[in-house]
Structure 1
Amino acid sequence: MTILKRAIFMLLLSCTLYSVHAQDKYEWKEATAGGYTYRYVTDDPMQARFYTLKNGLTVILSVNKKEPRIQTLIGVRAGSDNDPKDHTGLAHYLEHLLFKGTDKFGSLDWAQEKSYLDKIEGLYNTYNHTSGAGPRKTVYHQIDSVSGLAAKYAIANEYDKMMAGMGAQGTNAHTWVEETIYEEDIPSNAVDKYLFVQGERFREPVFRLFHTELEAVYEEKNRGLDNDSRKMYETMLAALFPTHNYGQQSTIGTVEHLKNPNLKAIRDFYNAYYVPNNMAIVMAGDFDPDYVIKKIDTEFAYMQPKPIHEYKAPVEKPIAAPVVKEVFGPDAENVNIAFRLPGALDTKAAVVTNVLAQILNNGKAGLLDLNINKQQKVLNASVGQLQWKDYTVFYLSGKAKQGQTLEEVKDLLLGQLEILKKGEFDETLVKAIVNNAKLSELQGLESNNNRANSIMDGFIKHRGQNWLNDVEMVDAMSKVTKKQIVDFANEYLKNNYVLLYKRKGEDKNIEKVEKPAITPVEVNREAQSPFLKEVAAIPATPVQPQWLDYNKDIQKSQVGPAEMLYVQNNDNALFRLHYRFDMGSWNNKKLPLAAQYLQFLGTDKYTTEQISKEFYNIACNFNVSSGTDVTTITISGLQENFDKAVALFEHLLTHCQPNEAALAALKGRLQKARTDNKLSKVAIMRGLVQYGMYGPKNPYNNQLSQADLDGLTSAELVEMLHTLPSYKHTVIYYGPQTLEAAADAVKKVHTLPATFQTAPAAVKFEKSTQTSNQVLFADYDMVQAEVNWVRNSTSAYNPENTAVISLFNNYFGGGMGSIVFQTIRESKALAYSTYAFYVSPDKKEDRYSVVAYVGSQADKMNEAITGMNELLNDIPRSDKLFETARESMKQDLETERITQDGIIFSYLNAKKLGLDTDYRKQVYAAVDKLTFDDVKKFHDQNLAGKPYTYCILGSEKKVSQDDLKKYGEVKKVTLEELFGY
């Protein structure tokens, strides 16, 4: 459940703080409602209420009525920074264990179970103090034996079942350096149930099913060892922070500490940090704040505050000269240059750092954007930040293009820093940065997830006390001067960096966590604690589902020969305009390359750099995306600049001029990207699955040959762009203008023919029909082995099957409470990640497919395959789990709201399936009539006893060819066969 953290590239709305206050506009105020006093910041677009309960618990609420759902976060200001030195990874272990229940839920008989759990705790203590492989193995065998007895009383995943039953989505958690966050997205009518469960969850958690959960953490660690990006991240932190825990304590822990867990140390950690004055509950969405704060107070009043022993960070000595590190692995090479800057609590530095980062790299008009990426001097270059309390990590990243060394990339990146330090940039760029920050702010308000994470980020860094600074961030950025930026850069961005080279080669330092001997344990699927029944009995006002009526929800017009589809934006001043073409790479393999080429072209009036600057100055964007069968042009931004943005894009599209140097560079970068793809295990596995699904000729390897690529001309690509509007397409508008006004505005600038040209015929890809088991194997230097099962149905799309397919996926393999997850991970401890789905096509003429997955240690691959095959052939029955799956599916349908231009894309997707209505309505009506026998019949007809294609990625050194032959005829697929080049 650990993630590296989405905050690496946070929206500007959620950036940290600064010290200059616009006192007239933003102030802390106090108010009382519903018997509770709260603080708020005037002119806060989130209208966040900050409560502090009597026991010190922080509660922050932001109401957003867009849909009947609520994003909830429960955060603890403790992460790997707070781990004991001799037990790194402990905070992360604890996060996993907070899903296992208490004495009230997760247990059939707490008194009986407790006696075994006490023995297990003692055995782990013995294990920690035992040396020698033989004696340790003996103790672990005892742990495994007693754990099996304890598991007979445990109800695995009861927490997940309760959350699914109330309609929760995104059940998860993550641990990072300064935080542990527990995440749920709940229906708005589930507030009482949710808070009742969470209040109990944190009361006194029980660390049950511990040794199987440890195995899941081992797998997570091993996945990290196969991830070159994670290795780069940890090496960077270790070099930047030789004494601070940021660099000295890995969030997931060292191999040695993972192998020697201590339950008493975990309990001590919980008791020390999971206290109300160190925690926050954040909720963003559709609720009554006066009601919610009272319920939170009721459910969490039992918590008692304690003094917090916060991590006292050492002050790192300045880096006097570049620190150079190398990381080796099979993935593509890259270079990072990382600096250590003042942390989020230095308010002045934080705001300048945010502006400085945008000046270097904002996606359009930054120094790296214009001088490096636009001119294609490297494969790609970017800037990133990790803003933590004590320090900020500021880094530049780059990938080399064909024939370029990493040292050359490094010099180019540092060259842009020198330009910045000399002040050789236009000061008006700051104004454009502010305009785009306002755009991000408007976009961020639409998402409950963004609201909640922004607020929680502020709590973790500074307990929410400086939310005022967060709210007025955009204003503060507008006050930053060029001199401040230059002075800051010259003070902090000197020769004091860590230089990391990710080089291709064998990592000889990998030490995987070895597989312990684990006997599968009981999961007691049918069991329910009295607590679960109590939760289920809590009344919840039904939420009425809302279905789309395409005839009413979408207005239509004509722009020349093009149909225009329209939905009005009544919420803010943003617009999105799309031109959607029913053709893509299947019609013309060169079209995606033409779409990429456009971003490097100018016209007779503007250079490509001027076009990028102009779009950034008016806070608007354009994007041309060409997929397999659809090409979409999107222009978006502030409505006040609609005419300028659309006219400028239309001018670019119809008047772009050939640029031979840009094409040569693009070809070189594409060739390098192709080379890098062959080094990526993710890309290789994607190719394996497509090969398994379609055979040797498939959408994934439908690529230009080297000869075709070499033969491409600028004139050919430019002509393709100039003539693109002459092909049939749909105009889609979402924005504040009326339909008539929007249609008139588009007509003025959108060049259209009297009649559309016919698109080139699309190549057809037929899914394979499996008649016998087959193994497709690709060799990759990795610790784990990854297995995908693929099978194609003989049946074409039928909407009548949608309800049973959705219910089957929910029950069988679609979440942490599913049969597959419970069996493969919870019972047998064979994988960290596993799933199985019956996949519906997106076109009415296409066939269904079965896709299943297990990622395990290589020496557990055979057990993992056996475990999944048993489930594919025989679906276990659990009436309680079936009812939970059904209720979860109904709740999802009841609370789902398709809004904005999503309404139009829902309509277009339905048309591809031959539908003219919102078919969710029929699914909702059918779900209550379905029985387990219906799901079993579906499973037996479509999955059981069928031949499969096993797509296996692993190291030939660790995966036996004889083992592979057990599952079918083996074909080792070459990279050329997978990628088509």
Structure 2
Amino acid sequence: MKPMKLLLITMLALSVQLVSAQSKYEWKQATSGGYTYKYVTNDPMKARFYTLKNGLTVVLSVNKKEPRVAVRIPVRAGSNTDPKDHTGLAHYLEHLLFKGTDKYGSLDWAKEKPLLDKIDGLYEQYNSTKDEAKRKEIYKEIDRVSGEAAKFAIANEYDKMMAAMGAQGTNAHTWVEETVYEEDVPSNAIDKFLDVQAERFRNPVLRIFHTELEAVYEEKNRSLDEDGWKMQDASHYYLFPTHNYGQQTTIGTIEHLKNPSLNAIRDYYYKYYVPNNMAIVMAGDIDPDKLIKQIDDRFSYMKSKPVQEYNPAPEKPLAGPIIKDIYGPSAESMQLCYRVGASDSKEALMAVLVSSILSNGKAGLFDLNLNKQQKVLRSGAGVRQYKDYGVFSISAAPKQGQTLEEVKDLLMEQISILKKGDFDESLIKAIVANYKLFELQGLENNANRVESITDAFIKNKGTKWINDVEQLDAMGRISKKDVVAFANQFFADNYVVLYKRKGEDKNVVKVEKPTITPVETNATKQSPFVKAINDKPLSAVKPLWLDFDKDIQKGKAGNAEILYVPNKENSLFRMYYYFDMGSWNSKQLSLALQYLQFIGTDKYSAEQISKEFYNLACSFSASAGTETTTLSLSGLNENFEKAVKLFEELVRTCKPDEAALEGLKNRLVRTRANNKLNKNAIMSALRSYGSYGALNPFNYTLTNDEIKNLKAADLVNILHSIFSFEHKVIYYGPKTLPELTASLKTNHQLPATWTAAPAPVKFERTIQKENSVLFADYDMVQSEIYWVRNLEQYDPKKEAVTSVFNNYFGGGMGAIVFQTIRESKALAYSTFAALQTPGKKEDKFAFIAYVGSQADKFHEAINGMNELINDLPEAEQTFENAKKSLLKDYETERITKDAIVFNYLAGKRKGVDHDIRKDIYTQASAITFNDLKKLHDTELSRKPYTYAVVASEKKVTMDDLKKYGAVKKVSLEELFGY
């Protein structure tokens, strides 16, 4: 399923029907390597659009920065095209495309197929039966026959193949009008990769279905625990009373989840998974002429057939505001939503521009008038654009003592300002300049390229890519008059208001757990197809290790060390002032750096400073970690001097502002209260408590009284003095080192000697001597369980075996934990385990494991993980894949740009003066399974653990918890320190 977040559509990914392309941007046709393709002139991605004879779209973009290739295989089908009586079907199918075909995923297809056919029939019988007693009997038979069929199935062969060839990010998602399969593979493995993908889509077999169905149940229940999901679903439901955007959810209804049809899923596959409805999008280290022939050879077996597009009746305009309350345990917030026109409409372009005028993170109306002035806790705006319509969403949260209705009024005031045209027209030019900056940054990343092209394919098969490429120029031609006219037409009484209120959601009905007998995964077995793929030789890719003496140039600015890496690719710079001190040295430091964004100088107000940086297409940030602090600047190199001067002036001459501090205090109080309503924050606090005890890094924070007594002058003094503490200057950009040194000499004045930093507080990890349970109560359907155990002190020589162990045991879909907990036993949608490597030589290794399961599977989930922790299963092929995957990751990884410096600094904190990856790579080849078993037996097996559990007391009782150790119910005050 697609991640739940507001997708701010990037400017390269939104198709807009505009004026005809000017000569700068034109569709051209070319022939190379025997294949004809189309391209758009001046496309920064230089994307080639091919259409093969069977209708399959192939889009290729070359980027040879590293020997890897990002891949997306999109299908233009999602919850929109689910049958009305089988919602969630496209999402089911996405899960099942990982289960194999008649050639892989099976030990004996001839013996497996009759059993799968029988399961098909049983599900049809189950779906048509209304009597609950009979349904239970049928499901019992489904469970029995599924167990028999699983004896011939090999779980996760797809994931194992991908891991063995060095793939990263193996995943997929389903959304309203798309199902997209995602990979990132080494460039030398493309031939293998295409073999696997061609087979994957040839004849997918819907095996191991009932355990995967349980995983989808878990996913549904997790969504019921997420208030954000409920808000998103509600916004769609009310904005689209006719269209399937609002009337069919991606996961589907509970009723349909309980009554799946394998026949319906198979019919859906044959209907929509056809070449003229699919694409292969690849960006990275490729030879397009060679690659297009390889793709054609592999996928020519696919046959084109007509696809009936989803063609809904137009939505009627909303007759008036729709106001709804949404209840749940998390903090209060609100959304104000408007319906946007189709992706190829002028309205879609205008909506994106207007959303940036309201909120761009720096100089929008919300940014300056609400966020900077701290009139709300937070606010923002963005557009989620689909093919037929989009959603213009404004979100905000109240500060302390503020109602949601008052927040809504403040948002409406800003919309009124927009409609009156009370904003500087230069803001439009600044927005376009910053989008061009984002575009330049985005081109460095292959994933950004394939995501943008995939989005265009879903909306219009890429036929309007020319408009995607030219739209920044088109946006630059939009005038303030155009914006005001649009705003007055667009923002009427045609919106949906959703108030997320704290309270019990009485409408939540969880998907009940069916009885499932664990199935055989045959983890140690291998099909002939997979063996052939794995045995297929690969050309060598030589790893490139960092040589810090050569890759980093060093200089001095006063008594500050400069760590310099040149940017020879574009006109962007990034510079950091890096301090070896943080919040453990001073609790007030982090707050002072937050305060910086709300205050000004004698010359500039805080709002003016934001405008100045945005107009320069530059930005600054300042944040304190626990042991390090970073103040950073980035943007266009042509504005480097102006940006540095402005930032230095702000830090050195900022003025105390008591009103701004009172606003910050108010927001802090509300944020801290909201954290206590956030289950993820509660779990983070509980894990920290389990690792360090009652006084730990998570709750080492200012008390409420300390916040109340803060003085603006104290925080400003911290800011004024920060450059007197020892720090390094890290730079990546086009300037030469002498040019940078000269600039810093003028613009970054430093003292002759450094001021000594306050001594940091030290936290000692606890030693688990007996099992114990830490529990926090939260109103939720699921139960969240972590295992916590601290191990021995860091030793760089143990990093290699730790890395291999993580790949083998708990680090992915092909690892032991996932295969057992999810694939075999269907106990969780999400599960993992890992040995954690500390960030500094004084710290210790640690182990964490996680299962997020339905509360009624609490004991089964714990017992399932404990079995793996106590007795390490041996699976030879999984072990070999774990090593291969690690080696290929290092062979194809290229650490470049400022990441070189941060890698160097991370090594120094561990006491390592060279690229430790080389050591890990060299040692990993010689690691045996016995090495993993020794590590497992010595550090993990039958050892005491702290169980950190977040669940509802109504579903998990104290008696349940006591089975695993002495129980301590930890209060929120103990967890958060306030």
What's the offset of the Cα at 1:425? 1.0
CA distance in 1, matches of 2:462, 2:10: 17
Contact 2:27 2:466 in 1 (8 A): yes
Note if contact 1:525-1:878 (Cα within 8 Å) is conserved in structure 2: yes
Q: 1:936 aligns with which of 916, 933, 936?
A: 933
Aligned to 2:294: 295
- Work out whether residues 5 and 176 of structure 1, in 8 Å CA contact, stay in contact via their aligned partners in 2: no
- Provide the rounded CA distance (Å) in 2 between the counterparts of 1:891 and 1:836: 22
| Residue 920 (structure 2) aligns with | 923
Indicate which of 471, 475, 478 corresponds to 2:469.
471
1:885 aligns with 2:865: no
Deviation at 1:163, TM superposition (A): 0.3
420-429 or 634-643: bigger deviation: 420-429
Alignment partner of 1:256 is 2:233: no
Q: Residue 414 of structure 2 aligns to which amino acid in structure 1?
A: Q
Aligned to 1:189: 188
Q: Which residue of 2 aligns with 1:120?
A: 119
How many Å apart are 1:349 and its aligned residue?
1.7
**Aligned equivalents of 1:400, 1:604: Cα separation in 2:** 30
Look up the match of 1:584: 582
Residues in 1 aligned to 2:584 and 2:12: alpha-carbon distance in whole angstroms: 40
Aligned-partner Cα distance in 1 for 2:760–2:447: 39
The yes-or-no answer on 1:959 pairing with 2:956 is yes
Quote the offset at 1:149 in angstroms. 0.1
Q: Which residue of 2 aligns with 1:599?
A: 597
Shift of 1:487: 1.3
Asked if structure 1 preserves the Cα contact closer than 8 Å seen for 2:827 and 2:861, the reply is yes
Among 807, 810, 814, which residue is 2:811 paired with?
814
What's the CA shift string for 1:351-404, capped at 9, x where partnerless? 211211111101111000111001000000000211011111001111000000
Q: Secondary structure at the match of 1:344?
A: coil
Cα-to-partner distance string for 1:515-572 (whole Å, 9 max, x where unaligned): 0000000000111111001112323111100000001100000001100000000110
* 1:835 alignment counterpart: 832
2:719 aligns with 721
Counterpart pick for 2:845 among 845, 848, 864? 848
- Could you say which residue in structure 2 is the equivalent of 1:902? 899
CA contact 2:99–2:157 (8 Å) conserved in 1: yes
| Aligned twin of 2:150 | 151
Q: Distance between the aligned counterparts of 2:4 and 2:307, measured in 1?
A: 25
The letter of the residue matching 2:196 is V
Using the alignment, how far apart are the partners of 2:474 and 2:442 within structure 1?
Answer: 18
Q: Is the 8 A contact 2:14 2:343 kept in 1?
A: no
Partner of 2:777 in structure 1? 779
Mapping 1:866-885, distance limit 5 Å: 866-885=863-882
1:497 to 487, 495, 498: 495
Q: Which stretch shifts more, 18-27 or 336-345?
A: 18-27
Instruction: Name the aligned partner's letter for residue 361 of structure 1.
Output: S
Per the alignment, residue 736 of structure 1 pairs with 734
Alpha-carbon distance between aligned partners in 2 of 1:582 and 1:935, rounded to the nearest angstrom: 35
Summarize the alignment of residues 443-454 of structure 1 with structure 2, pairs less than 5 Å apart.
443-454=441-452
Cross-structure match for 1:701: 699
Give 1:788's aligned residue.
786
The residue that corresponds to 2:820 in the other structure is 823
Q: What is the deviation of 1:7?
A: 7.0
Is the 2:811–2:833 Cα contact (8 Å) retained in structure 1? yes
Local SS of the residue matching 2:169: strand
Cα pair 1:18 1:349 within 8 Å, conserved = no
Match of residue 805, structure 1, among 797, 802, 805: 802
SS at 1:474's partner residue?
helix
> Is the counterpart of residue 319 in structure 1 residue 318 in structure 2?
yes
Contact 2:9–2:384 (CA under 8 A) maintained in structure 1: no
Structure 1 residue 305: Cα displacement: 0.7
Which of 855, 859, 881 aligns to 2:856? It is 859
The corresponding residue for 1:667 is 665
CA contact (8 A) 1:576 1:637 kept: yes
Describe the superposition over 1:602-628 as per-residue Cα deviations: whole angstroms up to 9, x where unpaired: 101111111100100010000001111
Post-superposition shift, 1:5?
A: 5.8
Q: What amino acid is aligned across from residue 227 of structure 2 in structure 1?
A: D
Counterparts of 2:838 and 2:445, CA distance in 1: 28
Could you tell me how far apart the structure 2 residues matched to 1:4 and 1:350 are? Answer: 22
Matches within 5 A, 1:315-714: 315-346=314-345, 348-714=346-712
d(CA) in 2 for partners of 1:481 and 1:912?
Answer: 52
Superposed displacement of residue 410, structure 1 = 0.4
- Residues 333 and 399 in structure 1, CA contact (< 8 A), matched pair in contact too: yes
Q: Secondary structure at the match of 2:752?
A: coil
Partner of 1:243: 242
1:556-612 deviations in whole A, cap 9, x for unaligned?
Answer: 000011000000001100000100011111000001100000001110111111110
The residue that corresponds to 1:43 in the other structure is 42
Native 8 Å contact 1:775 1:949 kept in 2: yes
Note if contact 1:11-1:444 (Cα within 8 Å) is conserved in structure 2: no
SS in structure 2 at match of 1:734: strand
Q: 1:23: how far off?
A: 1.5
Q: State whether residues 684 and 978 of structure 1, in contact with CA within 8 Å, keep that contact through their aligned partners in structure 2.
A: yes
- Partners of 1:370 and 1:604 in 2: how far apart? 18
Take 1:542 and 1:332, find their aligned partners in 2: how far apart are those partners? 53
Counterpart contact for 2:340–2:348, Cα < 8 Å: no
Asked if structure 2 preserves the Cα contact closer than 8 Å seen for 1:581 and 1:728, the reply is yes
Aligned-partner SS, 1:13: coil
The Cα of 1:12 is off from its aligned counterpart by: 2.5
2:201 corresponds to 1:202? yes
Distance 2:472 2:116 in 1: 53
Cα distance in 2 between the residues matched to 1:219 and 1:344: 33
Once the two structures are superposed, residues 459-481 of structure 1 have per-residue CA deviations (whole angstroms, 9 ceiling, x without a partner) of 00111011111111110110011
Is the CA contact 1:379–1:400 (under 8 Å) kept in the aligned structure 2?
yes
Scaled by the length of structure 1, the TM-score of the pair is 0.99
AA in 1 matched with 2:885: S
> What SS does the aligned partner of 2:626 have?
coil
C-alpha deviation, 1:204, in angstroms: 1.0
Contact 2:21/2:467 (CA < 8 Å) preserved in 1? no
For residues 491 and 531 of structure 1, the distance between their equivalents in structure 2, rounded to whole angstroms, comes to: 60
- In structure 2, what is the equivalent of residue 751 of structure 1? 749
Where does residue 762 of structure 2 map in the other structure? 764
Q: Residue type of the partner of 1:900?
A: K
After TM superposition, give the deviation of residue 271 of structure 1 in Å. Answer: 0.4
Structure 1 residue 22: deviation in Å? 4.6
Question: What percentage of aligned pairs have identical amino acids?
Answer: 62
Q: How many residues matched?
A: 978
Q: Are 2:177 and 1:175 equivalent residues in the alignment?
A: no
- Whichever residue aligns with residue 72 of structure 2, its letter is L
The equivalent residue for 2:98 is: 99
DSSP 3-state at the match of 1:940: helix
- Runs (4+) of structure 1 exceeding 6 A deviation are none
**Within 1, Cα distance between the matches of 2:138 and 2:178?**
34
Using the TM superposition, give the Cα deviation of residue 142 of structure 1 relative to its aligned residue in structure 2, in angstroms: 0.2
Match for 1:818: what amino acid? Answer: A
CA distance in 2, matches of 1:5, 1:387: 14
Structure 2 unaligned residues grouped into runs of 5+: none
Residue 13 (structure 1) shift: 3.0
User: Quick one: distance in 2 between partners of 1:255 and 1:7?
Assistant: 25
Q: For each residue in 1:259-298, what CA deviation from the matched residue of structure 2 results, as whole angstroms up to 9, or x when unmatched?
A: 0000010011000000000001000100111111001001
The corresponding residue for 2:79 is 80
Contact 1:313/1:390, CA 8 A, preserved across alignment: no
- TM-score computed with the length of structure 2 as normaliser: 0.99
User: Is the deviation greater in 304-313 or in 165-174?
Assistant: 304-313
In the TM superposition, residue 434 of structure 1 has moved relative to its aligned partner by 1.1
**Secondary structure of residue in 2 paired with 1:102:** coil
Structure 1 segment 16-95 matched on structure 2, within 5 A = 16-95=15-94
Root-mean-square deviation (CA, aligned residues, Å) is: 0.8
Gap runs ≥5 in structure 1: none
- Helix, strand or coil for the counterpart of 1:9? coil
